Amino acid sequence: MAKRPMCLLCFLMVLSLGALELMGIPLIRGNPLPLNVQDQIKAHPGSMICGEVEQYENTEFSQSVYLKKTYLIHQSKKFPIENVRIFLKKEEDLKPGMRILVKGTLKRVEGPANPGGFDSQHFYACRHIYYFMKNAVLQKKTAVYSGYRQLLLEIKESCRQILKEAAGKDAPVFCAMTLGDKQELDPETQMRYQLAGIIHILAISGLHISILGMGLYNLLKKMGLGIWPAGIFSLGVMLQYGIMTGGSVSTMRAVTMFLIAMGARITGRIYDMMSALSVTAMMILVESPAYLLDSGFLLSFGCVLGMGLAAEKICALAGAEKKWTKALVSPIALQLVTLPVMLKFFGEVSIAGFILNLLVLPSVGVVLTGGMAALLLGILSIPAAKLVILPARVLLLFYEYLCSLAGKSGWSTWIGGEPEIWQILVYYGFLIIVLFMGQYIKEQLRKKKAVSEETELAEEQAEAGCRKLYAIRITAGIFLAVGILILGYHPAGSLKVICLDVGQGDGILVETPEDHHFLIDGGSSSQSELGRYCLLPALKSQGISWLDGIFISHTDQDHINGVKELLEYMGKGLTTIRAGYLILPAWAERPDAWRELAEAAKTAGVKVVTAGKGDELPCGKVSFSVLWPEKNATGKDVNEEAMVMELSFGDFQMLFTGDIGADTEKKLLVAGGLEDVDCLKVGHHGSRYSTTEAFLEKIKPEVAIISCSSTNTYGHPSPETVERLKAAGSQVEYTMKNGAITVETDGKKLKIGRFRKD
């Protein structure tokens, strides 16, 4: 590192940022705005703000505008609040660079509410956005705007239209690859590419910048331009390209490193990739320290680190000396370096990507070049653009075929779950040792080539050296295997019940001591695509690839739409998570929602069974007892005939009541079988018509969990219900306040965890 001072400086900077974070200075996490400004916003959330339009986009329900250099205005005083994202009630004619005055309600950007959930708060903190303004109304705007930035927007829109005409249904993929625009990219396409481990080709990264930038530079050189003019022109074009395509962290990293590389070429200096990487990292972190814990930053820089530091050493360990063997082994080095990051943020790693990238990476340049050529030709002739992009579209069909193969297999991803910090540190410790072994082998192989093989002694020494290198390789393999096992280790022994924050609905994940997993309901009337954005990430973060059973209490959409979505993903091969049984209430009359759910399960290869009063499901030390509905239930009143279950483990009991009301509670009391429980999943989201006093007197729950949305229109939870729970001596927990609520027990002692601590 002494030979690379920039690397040392970058390392010290990262350590300093970590130390400041531990000291309580919120540069990486938290809100860095002055406390008086934060207090002002809390006191006056409905306020006026003034800022400069950075960019804007039309969403489904509003116009989203990003403001920079923003001020909160209160009683003629201005408080700087950095950048803000606002949502205008109606679409306005805005241009970049305009200063606008808007009125609305400021709200702190929220962090994730569930395990594996996307951290919006940190994502926007990287962009210096700490507040959203909802229901904003434009008051004033200036006539002055940035002609340069507006021109870039218009060029981007023109390019988008050309691709739509030239590429047809494949246009969203080409827009993502060439323009960094994923607005119209089908979610299922993204999921297929992610499952196959080739999602990276849809993001503008070093591969794209090097192909385009160096391609332009070499073209200009062939046209007769000298090094300086060709280099300067290429630098300028790629810089504008990076700005036009949105300036994601991977784009910023790639463009900055390209600028340094081209600068070295122009000036006749030697380009050192690791030094360039360090300078780029410092530039990004100085501007926004929060990027240090951003998944995009860590993956983008991790891949380059893997290529620059680990690839040669892993190749030496694997005995890959020829060019084609190095091409096979090098991607493994990248995966090893980024493995903990992938698991930490996504809970899974694509195994199929190891193989598929060998087929995709050599050909992706053709796709990218075809898209760019179509953009250029499309200015003159759309038919010509359609012709030139055709080979690229054929390759996209090939990629889709590879993705479908990956989706059909159950092994295409490893769902290892989210590791703890200590597991990550131990893994990287093992990896560093392995890399030192690789460096040692690399040096020994270099010395071996230099030693004469003429004497018998030299042959004996060479044979002994080979045995030593073989032993080192075996040891390195063991170290790697142990490191990966530690990374995916999840200690068992306790029962965990995670009541997910699904907004207005229910979704409960049960993990038994014997590593069996169950889902009880999964739906929401306030959150869209619950399966994709809540259930799947939660399952992956817990390392769950197999659900033994999915219980459905009843068929209201706020209990089943996420489960149906999850089953459809299984059936389409968009996830490697699988399930054994779908357990539906035993109703004589089965509504359409019941039948649709059963059909989705059958398509996904999940067995459908029914359960009613008296049925039991023993699962090791844990058992589920169905208390309701009666076997002759009609199913006409889905709420009152919802499935009621008791979960038992040792001395611990938990009751799940679906959406039953007072009538069913009375019937359960009359029927008998109810007993004291440690935990109650409160019925019907805390409705005033459920959880009666008589019911609570019988079951006496120590803990009661209410799942509902803070913005629901039903008045849940009812103040009367909360009072009854408190009067019964229950500790009341709310998903709307603290996110996912986790109940963990060893069968005797009970521990409550809140995902959101604030």
Report helix, strand or coil for 553: coil
Which tens digit of pLDDT belongs to each residue from 477-489? 899 999 999 998 9
8 A C-beta contact, residue 570 and residue 538: no
Q: Rounded to whole angstroms, how far apart are CA atoms 245 and 108?
A: 27
Among 500, 506, 541, 511, which Cα is nearest to 754's? 500
What's the pLDDT score for residue 537?
97
Give the mean model confidence (pLDDT) for residues 250-269: 89
- Which pLDDT band, with edges at 50, 70 and 90, does 567 fall under? very high
Supply 49's token pair: 């703000």
Q: How far apart are CA 71 and CA 307, in angstroms?
A: 43
pLDDT for the residue 113: 95
Predicted local confidence at residue 464, as pLDDT: 56
What b/e sequence results for 520-559 when a residue is b if at least 16 CB atoms lie within 10 Å of its CB, and e otherwise?
bbbbbbbbeebbbbbbbbbbbbbbbbebbbbbbbbbbebb
Lowest mean pLDDT among 90-99, 100-109, 140-149, 351-360: 351-360
CB distance 428 to 298 below 8 Å: no
Token duo for residue 27: 């540069």
Q: What is the pLDDT of residues 503-537, one digit of tens each?
A: 999 999 999 999 999 999 999 999 999 999 999 99
Cis peptide before 629 (omega within 30 of 0): yes
| Mean pLDDT confidence for 398-425 | 91
| pLDDT-derived band at 206, boundaries 50, 70, 90 | confident
Q: Which band of pLDDT confidence, cut at 50, 70 and 90, is reported for residue 569? A: very high
Of residues 718 and 442, which shows the higher confidence score? 718
Q: What is the pLDDT of residue 642?
A: 95
The mean per-residue pLDDT over the stretch 114-122 comes to 94
Q: What is the model's pLDDT at position 87? A: 93
The stretch 593-603 carries a mean pLDDT of: 96
Q: For residue 158, what pLDDT is reported? A: 94
Q: CA separation (Å) from 428 to 334, 335, 490, 494?
A: 13, 13, 18, 28
Calculate the CA dihedral of residues 189, 195, 198, 200 and round it to 10 degrees: 80
The pLDDT confidence band at residue 460, using thresholds 50, 70 and 90, is low
Query: How far does Cα 497 stand from its chain's mean position?
Result: 23
Residue 215 has pLDDT above 90, yes or no: no
* 3-state secondary structure at position 48: strand
Tens digits of per-residue pLDDT, 653-686? 999 999 999 999 999 999 888 889 999 999 999 9
Query: What is the pLDDT confidence band of residue 719, given thresholds at 50, 70 and 90?
Result: very high
Position 448 pLDDT exceeds 80: no
User: What pLDDT score does 245 carry?
Assistant: 87
For residue 188, what is the enclosing H or E element?
helix 187-196
Tell me the pLDDT tens digit for each residue of 53-73.
Answer: 998 887 777 789 999 999 998
Which segment of 344-353, 450-459, 529-538 scores lowest on mean pLDDT? 450-459
Q: What is the pLDDT of residue 326?
A: 74
Please give the CATH superfamily to which domain 495-754 belongs.
Answer: Ribonuclease Z/Hydroxyacylglutathione hydrolase-like (3.60.15.10)
Q: Give the residue carrying structure tokens 């923003």.
A: 70
Element (H, E) at 493: none
Distance, in Å, from the CA atom of 701 to the CA atom of 677, rounded to the nearest integer, reads 5
Higher pLDDT, 613 or 635: 613
pLDDT in the model for residue 463: 56
Higher pLDDT: 450 or 469? It is 469
User: What's the confidence (pLDDT) of residue 2?
Assistant: 56
| Digit-coded pLDDT (tens) for 21-43 | 777 777 777 777 888 888 888 88
Looking at the chain, the whole-number percentage of residues with pLDDT higher than 90 is 61
CA separation for the pair 205, 234 (Å, rounded): 17
One-letter amino acid at 375 equals: L
**Amino acid type, 378:** G
* Span 186-194, average pLDDT: 92
The sign of the CA dihedral 451, 454, 460, 466 is positive
Question: What pLDDT, on a 0 to 100 scale, did the predictor assign at position 462?
Answer: 55
Nearest CA to 605 out of 553, 564, 570 is that of 570
pLDDT score recorded for residue 519: 98
pLDDT category of residue 459 using cuts at 50, 70 and 90: low
- Label residue 757 by pLDDT band (50, 70, 90): confident
- Provide the pLDDT confidence category of residue 370 given band limits of 50, 70 and 90: very high
When the pLDDT of each residue in the chain is averaged and rounded to a whole number, the result is 90
Which residue blocks in 488-531 are alpha helix, DSSP H? Answer: 530
State the DSSP string of 328-386: HHHHHHHHHHHHHHHHHHHS-EESHHHHHHHHHHHHHHHHHHHHHHHHHHHTT-HHHHH
Quote the CA–CA distance of 301 and 280 in Å, as a whole number.
Answer: 9
Q: What CA–CA distance (Å, rounded) separates 259 from 213?
A: 9
Contact partners, residue 126, CB within 8 Å, separation at least 6:
249, 288, 290, 291, 294, 297
CATH of 31-145, one of 1.10.357, 2.40.50, 1.10.10, 2.30.30: 2.40.50
pLDDT at 134 over 90: no
Element (H, E) at 264: helix 249-267
Residues 93 and 536: their CA atoms lie apart, in Å, by: 39
Percent of the chain with pLDDT over 70: 97
- Residue 34: cis peptide before it, omega within 30 degrees of 0: no
Rounded to whole angstroms, what are the CA distances from 610 to 41, 587, 588, 643, 668? Answer: 52, 8, 11, 10, 20
**DSSP label at 550?**
E
pTM of the predicted structure, to 2 decimals: 0.92
Sign of the dihedral through C-alpha 343, 348, 351, 354:
negative
What are the beta bridge partners of residue 106?
133
Q: Which two tokens stand for residue 637?
A: 């009143």
Q: Where are the beta strands (DSSP E) in 96-251?
A: 99-108, 129-141
Confidence (pLDDT) at 461:
55
Q: For residue 45, what pLDDT is reported?
A: 80
Position 372: which residue type?
Answer: M
In the three-class reduction of DSSP (H, G, I as helix; E, B as strand; rest coil), residue 28 is classed as coil
User: Could you tell me where the DSSP H helices lie in 536-632?
Assistant: 536-541, 557-572, 592-603
Q: What is the pLDDT at residue 410?
A: 78
